[in-house]
Amino acid sequence: MDMEMEFQIISRETIKPSSPTPNHLRTHKLSIIDQLAIQCYVPVLLFYPSNGQDSSQRSSLLKKSLSQILTHFYPFAGREVNSSWIDCNDEGASFVEANVAADLSMLLKQPQFELLQQLLPCKPNENSVPFRAREILAVQVNYFICGGMTIGVCLKHLIADASTVASFIERWGAVACFADTDVNGVILDRTSLFPPIDKTEGLSWGDSSDEEFLPEIVMKRLVFNGSKIAALRERVGNGLYLDRPSRFEAVSALIWGASIAATRETDETVDYHVAMSVVDLRKKLNPPLPQQCIGNICQVTTAKCSMEKSTDYNELAQKIRESIRNVDDESVRKFHEDGKWLDFVKKLGEEYGKKSKVRMFKFSSWCRFPFYEADFGWGKPIWVSTAMEQENGAIFLDSSDGQGIEAWVALPKEDMTQLEQNPDILEFASFS
């Protein structure tokens, strides 16, 4: 049964840093990974129960602490000038507040993707306004009639991967609680590691010239509890190629395999499948970068599977593991010499454009990022989600107990129908 929520926007304002950004920090250079990031926002939603405080108290604390944390994350209060740098001009972040005529518990029982998007300050993929004209950071605080609340955060992908968003939100909460917090290593110039390019026009991860012919994409949440994941790891690890898969490897192999099986039923023109995994490079580099440093410090790696081959989860998990293991300090540094990353993105775009031959599926794991540590003074969130639209992909987040995984999966409607009936998916996950 679909749920409806009545929203009333009660305030809109711009929050500026509590202290001005020094002149020598007014320019933040973008790396090639930033430049080639998809033009969208990275959205995160944090859900909190009632704690006895009224909305005005919470509002005052959130706005004050946001102003304070923006002095440390000062590029978030700036504006993109072009594809090479951000003017850290302290113009500020958008802050919206809304009343929601609904009970938070009802939404948590059956989260609907379209309703979650209404809790955000903007549509993550909205293109009605020139992208460079909009804020880098936007926040929406939603007050439910039960006293619960949701904080929706949208950060431009231009300067933020999921790790960036998690670190920012956690530090914002720490400032709200303690006024002063350690933010060393947040702003780094990464252009020596990932040299930028002069021109990015015309580059993309895919060919959108035939958008009117694109299939209808459906978003569903698959919930894997801790015990099911343990059983799945045993199942996937029982084979010739891999003994003990990680949580990510096991769940990715299952979903990728189910997607391949669905495509066999719905599209006979596909020759092979490619799994793209987003790898956080902070710990891959030597010396490692601080986990809290901002920017797109990640890289896509690929694993391929022929359409004709049977769906062997063990083999798929091994392919995913090897593709990620191949990303190390030496390979990353070589990859970014002489424009190899640009060449890789161009090749991926060309392959993705061959929609009748190649089916891409993108995995992005936000697990183990400190989203559930975001305490603004009224406790940690009871649930964390995203509402990021995608095409053929899955975003993984930790369940609230830290043991399970919640996967937001996007597939063409026909493929999703097949996925929902897949016996292996139904054995290990539940749809909601």
List, by residue number, the catalytic residues.
157, 375
Measured CA to CA, the distance from residue 50 to residue 111 in angstroms comes to 19
- Under 8 Å CB-to-CB from 17, ≥6 apart: which residues? 67, 70, 71, 74, 77, 90, 92
86 forms beta bridges with 28, 80
CB atoms within 10 A of CB 14: 12
C-alpha separations of 199 from 31, 77, 94, 157, 203 in Å: 12, 25, 29, 18, 9
Length, in residues, of the chain: 432
**Burial class of residue 63 (count of CB atoms within 10 Å of its CB; 0-12, 13-18, 19+):** middle
| E strands in 157-251 | 217-224
Q: Would you give the DSSP letter of residue 285?
A: S
Helices (H) and strands (E) counted in the chain, each on its own, are 12, 16
State both tokens at 74: 């000062």
DSSP label at 26?
Answer: S
8 A C-beta contact, residue 3 and residue 106: yes
Secondary-structure breakdown of the chain: helix, strand, coil percentages, each rounded to the nearest 5: 35, 25, 40
Are 18 and 99 within 8 A, CB to CB? no
Query: Which sign, positive or negative, has the C-alpha torsion 328, 333, 338, 339?
Result: positive
> How many C-beta atoms surround the C-beta of residue 236 within 10 A?
28
Among 142, 422, 134, 161, residue whose Cα is nearest residue 293? 161
